[in-house]
Chain A
């Protein structure tokens, strides 16, 4: 069974930093692209970032480019996102999601339960 468990969401002040983690199990983590997607409370879904299976290529939404850094540790089956210069508009549930295999890497076939990041003074 595929499981994705996010952690690290807390209340942080504007301008602060935070690292979220996602522990993966039940599938070939090292063979899968991984994504972060966020959802502001009561709002729709927004794709945040993608990292390829080997960790070499990383892509970001314009709204977080230069502030967020995605990474992974295939030896620990874990995905991360380092979030800096946080703004109130970054307040959201953050989901990690598994990408499909090969050319379907942009297909989000399994999602974690999410972790809430609140940016507030």
Chain B
């Protein structure tokens, strides 16, 4: 099973700041990594697919980078509506696995 480790667990930031979340895989997964956003009381929504490709309708302030074992999600110029928990997910092999999540709080 591929283990995904996210950091940090929690981040409190002010609007317009830039946030970077890291996801590290226990083995190389190429570009087979997605990022999801889950707001309180809602289901997850796909933000980034294949490590760096933005999903339809996702604001351009969300971007993904990385390959192999190390990946990042960057939220540029944070907005209040970005308060959420963010998860990475690998699609290299079954079982599909998720990172533990990073909660972003807006100060």
Name A's B-contacting residues (CB within 8 A). 35, 44-47, 50, 59, 61-62, 95, 100, 104, 106-114
- Given A44-B87, A104-B91, A106-B91, answer yes or no on A111-B45 (Cβ-Cβ < 8 Å): yes
> Which residues of A have CB within 8 Å of B87?
44-45
* CB proximity to A under 8 Å, residues B76-105: 87, 89, 91, 94-101
Contacts of B89 in A (CB 8 A): 45, 108
> Roughly how many angstroms separate A107 CA and B48 CA in the complex, as a whole number?
10
- 10 new A-B contacts at CB < 8 Å, known A44-B100, A111-B44: A44-B87, A45-B101, A47-B97, A62-B95, A95-B44, A104-B91, A107-B46, A107-B91, A109-B55, A112-B43
Bound-state CA distance A106–B93 (Å) is 8
Q: Give, as a whole number of angstroms, the nearest-CB distance from A20 to chain B.
A: 14
Instruction: Report B-chain residues with C-beta under 8 Å of the C-beta of A104.
Output: 49, 91
Query: Given A45, A62, A113, A114, which contacts B98 in the complex, CB threshold below 8 Å?
Result: A45
Query: B56: nearest residue on chain A (CB-CB)?
Result: A109
The smallest beta-carbon distance between B66 and chain A, in angstroms, is 16
Q: In the assembled complex, which residues on chain B have CB atoms less than 8 Å from the CB atom of A106?
A: 32, 91, 94, 96
Chain A, Cβ-Cβ closest to B44:
A111
Q: Does B63 contact A (CB under 8 A)?
A: no
CA distance A35 to B96 in the complex (A): 10
Which residues of A have CB within 8 Å of B91?
Answer: 104, 106-107
A44 touches B43 (CB 8 A): no
Residues of the A chain whose Cβ atoms lie less than 8 Å from the Cβ of B46: 107-110
Q: Which of B32, B34, B97 contacts A108 (CB 8 A)?
A: B34
CA distance A109 to B32 in the complex (A): 14
Nearest residue, chain B, Cβ from A4:
B43
Which single residue of chain A is at the shortest CB-CB distance from B91?
A106
Measured CB to CB, the nearest residue on chain A to B6 is A44
For B36, B50, B96, B100, which residue has the most chain A Cβ atoms within 10 angstroms?
B96
Residue of A nearest to B94 (CB): A59
Could you tell me if B95 and A61 are in contact, using CB atoms closer than 8 angstroms? yes
A59 to B94, CA, bound (A): 8
